[in-house]
Amino acid sequence: MGSSYLFHLGVNSSVLIRSINQDVVGVFGVFFYLFRVLAELFTVTAIGIYTITLDPLLAVSLVGILGSCMLILFFGLKKLVKRFGQIGKDCDSKMLQYLSQAFGGIKEIMVMNRQEYFSESFEGACTLSARAAKRNNFLNVIPSNVYEVVCIGGLIGIVVVRLHMTPDMAEFVTKLAIIAVAAFRLFPAVGRLTTNLNAITYNRPRLDSMYEMLKSIENTEMYRVKHIDPDKVVPIKFEKELKVDNITWKYPAGQENVLEGLSLKLEKGKSLALIGPSGAGKTTLADVILGLLKPQKGNIYSDDEDIYENLPGWAKIIGYVPQAVYLTDDTIRANVAFGIRENEIDEEKVWHALEEAQLADFVRHLEEGLDTMVGEQGVRLSGGQRQRIAIARALYEDPEILVLDEATSALDTETETAVMEAIDSLHGSKTMIIVAHRLTTIRNCDEIYEVRDGIAVKRDKAEVLSEIPQADS
């Protein structure tokens, strides 16, 4: 959660969940089995040294046979074991992805009768994962059985050879008895050693995955907002204007700039609309203004203060209303005071935010009022009600600046009109930046900028509004 927004843009959520749930366990498994390898190595070394002092030739022969067998088995099985580990890791991601997609789109899936596709996809990933684990377990059984055969066969061979070389049979039989006991203590240890090495190999893909993720986080570290105690955050001053000064931004792996030398100004208390075709960079510009993305060139100033020098302070005075509203399966109170502990929620601020979002009367008429559960993703509310809760959430901390990113584009015309009434009532009391797809939503904006080809061009308001079809006006 402490990583940058840029990092989250490049990683599927199912991969993150898998890393937290399974990969971390796999990494601990690598170190666990590594310590077991060291313990078995100590046992094998101690027994080996003792047998060598007793009869060097006999001991070296036995250790050589077991050592060669172990190396052949380990390197012979290594690729298979690693492949099974990779399959298990990939299947874990796919299972989480299929579950997320299935439950997230359950309505469309049921309407379109696509249950079989998602069930089969999930079942297929489960089957592959189970098959890989089963085959890996089978490979772990092989070493101990092989070592038993090799150890017994090796001892018989060594005895036959030494019988022709040793004149003192009494002494040889005594040494042979001791070494035989040592050998039968040695081969289980070597078997466990090989099994633990295979377990490390099996979990290695998860270790590699965690390493790559940490490296990816490190590569975006410059964009990360460091955690500061909220009580110690000093809000940025905003008394005159917001200035976007010659900013350039592109994705780290991108070839072309999404924004290039873009500049604009917005006076306090005014409202500004960002219009333009899809993919022009309107949302990217909004993300930059929000402080989620840091431009490679240029700065954003609140009065004369660079917002990137105090992002926590900037977050104190800016609110955000997205197009796709995220609601937790909790009460209206908890969703308005989003991310705040229940005992720290200011109910007066909740009601004030609902009043500004023009949703307070609706909530008062609910049987449970603020304690009404909204359901997962707000399924118990209408689209307009969900959007107003998002507006109330953005207003809870009474921000001076409000960014609305196509906040009504997913609503029908009638609902959009009602929500826009709530937004329009904020004109003058809040400085607003409205990313708009429909021109009908920007009638009351003071300034209009068109984002195109990475730059923002100021447009004449009357000219832009004249482009609205007569039927929509």
What is the CATH classification number for the domain harbouring 41? 1.20.1560.10
What is the tally of structural domains in the chain? 2
Specify if 108 maps to a domain.
yes
Q: What is the CATH number of the domain that holds 408?
A: 3.40.50.300
Does 275 share its domain with 188?
Answer: no
For residue 112, what pLDDT is reported? 65
- Residue labelled with tokens 């429909």: 438
Q: Is the pLDDT of residue 11 over 70?
A: no
Specify if 326 maps to a domain.
yes
Specify if 472 maps to a domain.
no
pLDDT category, 443, cuts 50, 70, 90? confident
Does 207 share its domain with 299?
Answer: no
Does 260 share its domain with 382?
Answer: yes
Does 445 share its domain with 307?
Answer: yes
Specify if 401 maps to a domain.
yes
Does 415 share its domain with 354?
Answer: yes
Does 332 share its domain with 442?
Answer: yes
Q: Which residues contact 169 (CB under 8 A, 6 or more apart)?
A: 163
Q: Is the pLDDT of residue 180 over 50?
A: yes
The gap from C-alpha 127 to its chain's centroid, in whole angstroms, comes to 25
Which has the higher per-residue pLDDT, 365 or 6? 365
Which has the higher per-residue pLDDT, 468 or 197? 197
Does 265 share its domain with 376?
Answer: yes
Which has the higher per-residue pLDDT, 155 or 192? 192
Mean of pLDDT values over 6-24: 66
Does 274 share its domain with 360?
Answer: yes
Mean of pLDDT values over 443-457: 86
Does 176 share its domain with 266?
Answer: no
Does 306 share its domain with 211?
Answer: no
Least-confidence region, from 15-19, 201-205, 269-273, 443-447: 15-19
Residue type (1 letter), 301: Y
Does 156 share its domain with 261?
Answer: no
What is the dihedral sign for C-alpha 291, 296, 301, 305? positive
Mean of pLDDT values over 320-333: 87
For residue 364, what pLDDT is reported? 92
Specify if 233 maps to a domain.
no
Mean of pLDDT values over 29-53: 83
Does 345 share its domain with 281?
Answer: yes
**pLDDT, tens digit (0-9, with 9 covering 90-100), for 65-116:** 777 777 887 887 888 888 888 888 888 888 888 877 777 677 667 766 777 8
Specify if 235 maps to a domain.
no
Specify if 230 maps to a domain.
no
Task: Supply the range of the domain harboring residue 77.
Answer: 5-223
Final residue in a domain of this structure, among 164, 195, 223: 223
Specify if 229 maps to a domain.
no
Q: What b/e sequence results for 337-371 when a residue is b if at least 16 CB atoms lie within 10 Å of its CB, and e otherwise?
A: bbebeeeebeeebbbbbbbbbbbbebbeeeeeebe
